Each structure stands twice: as structure tokens, then as C-alpha cells.
Amino acid sequence: MPTPSSILAGRERALAEVDLEAIRHNVRRLSRDLPAGAVHCAVVKANGYGHGAVPVARAALEAGSRWLGVATATEAEELRDAGLDAPVIIFGPMTGAELERAARARADVVVWSAPFARAALRLGARCHVKFDSGMGRLGVDEEHVRELARLLASGPSSLVGLMSHFATADEADTTFFEYQLGRFTALARELKAAYSDLICHTANSAATIRSPASHFDMVRTGIALYGLAPSNDDPFKDGLRPAMRLSSYVAGVRVVQPGQSVGYGRRFVAERPSRIAVVPIGYADGISRALTNRGDVLVAGRRCRITGTISMDQLTVLLPEEHGRPGDEVVFFGESSGERILCEEVARLLRTINYEVVCDVSPRVVRRYRGAAPAA
């Protein structure tokens, strides 16, 4: 009999494997239809949607991305601290202190108010004016965009870009998308006549895939960079390759008898003798507690149902007869022996989107990278 330690050698309790070749493939796919001169911005905010900002950024730049997009000054600093030199743009609002850190990190910033524009001018920061073409969050209308552009153009190199963001680019009904694109197209044309070097950009992943007319000078793709479908359907249909695979392993198997229960709240009570696998991954790793008694995993390549309450560090799975042993791999999303679970499937069960499923993979989960370029 093998000892438990020899059975389990080589497993991580919770492992996110990220395929950097998939990232490179997705960059090439997303750059395929760009007009001459237009560039790809790899959006690596939120730790690269859970995949790891720095390794993803490196792989994206290797495959031809020219810009990196983040949401906060801290995220821009992380890229600079890792030695990445590419232009970085920070999308989110910032306090004065954050703006100073952004300028020190040589990151471009997004501007939609005159006081912020003046502070950015004083710091010599490169700015992109945010046009609210219909998102209805931050950003300003045409008139205020013109004013901000004039103000920023008084600095040596402060006026760099014009940007906007789509609210419905992933939806089947394109009416509002076309409305936003029309407004952006008109304003971009007008401002480029006055400022010929202006970089105009508005496409997220969904728009990049759907509409070449939305590409302008740069596209900013997040979700599709990671091989996930912007509309939460099948990413393979759009020629994308999912980069992340999330797994754990069977730490133990027990047989419960009729009437016996498993886990907190006794949410599973056996009606017949049942084999239950205990898997050392839980909601603190990013497996939503809402998957209690729902959702499949692949145990050694075969679909099995999550059964019983998901706890912080463990969950339980009902095993079919004769299948599943301690040490077997358990895959939450990704491929295993020709079977596959997509993040999109998990997201639908949770009534959310794939973005949230990967962002939830917590820091406690070990990241392992495949396909890294050899060190120079």
C-alpha cells in the first residue's frame, strides 16, 4: 500500500495554471483585424483578471501588444517595479496622492475634470480625455471634452488621447452600441483635425471582436486576452483560447451511509451508501459558496457534482461508483482527459459573468505558468 504522502506527491492544494502561449495566441487573434497603425492595449488590471498581471503583461508584449491598461496607480507601479517599460494607462479615478504616484510611475492618466487636468499638467502627466458617449459613469460630454482638450494642449505633451467606453458591446441588440460608436466617431474625427497625434480609443473586447469600425488607433482588451468570451458564451467560437485552468485534488474519500450527512448545515444527507471526495479548496480560494450542491467538477477527467456545503477551505463531491481515488486531480475549470468545463458555464450557474469567476481566484491559490519565454 502506498503511503498518503507518496500518493499526493506533486499536487498543489489549489492551483491556477496559466498558459502564456494562450495569452500570446489571443493577442495575435485580437490584433488580426486592426487597421494599419492601430495597436493593442493588454488590460491587466485586477492582477490580470486573476491570472497575474506581470507574467501576462510580458507575454502580451512578446506577442505584439504595445500598451498596458490598469485601473489604479498601485497596479501601474507593480508593472514598473517588475521592469516593464511599455506605455501604461490608468483608467480609474485617482486622488491627488495617487495622481502623483502615477506620474512618478510614468503612467498615462484619464481626465474628465478641469481641476484634475490642471493637477496633471503641473505634474507633466500624459492625459487621455474621457468622453461619456453613453456609459453614464465617469467622463464628460462633447463640449466639456473640447474644453479639457484645449486646457491640456497648453502643456508640452499633456494631451495624448481621447477615450470612451461601451456599455452594451457584448449584447445582441446593437442599437445602443451603434449610438455610442456614432458619437465617438464624430468627436474623434473633429478632434483629430485639431490635434493630429491624438490617440483615439474606445473598443473593449466585445467591440474589438464585433466591430472593426470601433478600433480607431488602439483597442483595449481584457476578458478576451484571457481567452474568455465577452458575451459569456463559447470563447472557441471567436478563436480564443482560455488561459487559466483551476484545479485541486482528492484529499480523501469516505463512504456515507443512508441518513448520514456531509458538511456544514447537513446540506447533503445520503439516501443510499455514497462515496464522497473531500477536496481542499473552498470559498477563500474563489470557489463561490453559491455552488453548494450545484455545479460540476472533473475528477480524473470525469464530471462529478459538488455535493454539500462549500466551506472556506474544503468542499465535497459525490463520486460515481468505482471512480475517484485519493490523489486524483479535480478540475474546476479547464480541460482534463478531453472533458472540459468553461468559466462561462460556472458563471451561468452563479448568475454572473466569467470576469468575476477568474477575478475571484484568490491570492491563496498557487499560480503556475506554462509557456514562459526563455530568459534573455
Which residues are marked as active site? 45, 264
Contact at 8 Å (CB) between 79 and 41?
A: no
Least Cβ distance, residue 25 to ligand PLP (angstroms): 16
Alpha carbons 58 and 353: distance in angstroms, whole number:
26
Give the nearer residue to ligand PLP in terms of CB position, either 91 or 268.
91
Alpha carbons 10 and 150: distance in angstroms, whole number:
60
Alpha carbons 310 and 293: distance in angstroms, whole number:
8
Alpha carbons 77 and 44: distance in angstroms, whole number:
13
Least Cβ distance, residue 206 to ligand PLP (angstroms): 6
Alpha carbons 357 and 64: distance in angstroms, whole number:
27
Least Cβ distance, residue 205 to ligand PLP (angstroms): 3
Upper half-sphere CA count for residue 21 (Cβ side, 13 Å): 3
For residues 114-140, b (16+ Cβ closer than 10 Å) or e, as one string?
Answer: eebbebbbebebbbbbbbbbbeeeebb
Task: Identify the CA nearest to 146 among candidates 108, 176, 188.
Answer: 188
* Residue 88 C-alpha from the chain's centroid: 17
Give the nearer residue to ligand PLP in terms of CB position, either 11 or 201.
201
Least Cβ distance, residue 216 to ligand PLP (angstroms): 13
Alpha carbons 160 and 289: distance in angstroms, whole number:
45
Instruction: Using alpha carbons only, give the angle 213, 217, 218 rounded to the nearest 5 degrees.
Output: 95
Give the nearer residue to ligand PLP in terms of CB position, either 222 or 282.
222
Least Cβ distance, residue 45 to ligand PLP (angstroms): 6
| Minimal CB distance residue for ligand PLP | 222
Least Cβ distance, residue 54 to ligand PLP (angstroms): 18
**Burial status of residue 81 (CB atoms within 10 A of its CB: 0-12, 13-18, 19 or more):** exposed
Give the nearer residue to ligand PLP in terms of CB position, either 224 or 365.
224
Alpha carbons 246 and 265: distance in angstroms, whole number:
27
Give the nearer residue to ligand PLP in terms of CB position, either 14 or 342.
342
Give the nearer residue to ligand PLP in terms of CB position, either 43 or 79.
43
Alpha carbons 131 and 138: distance in angstroms, whole number:
8
Residues that bind ligand PLP (CB under 6 A): 43, 45, 91, 165, 204-205, 220-224, 230
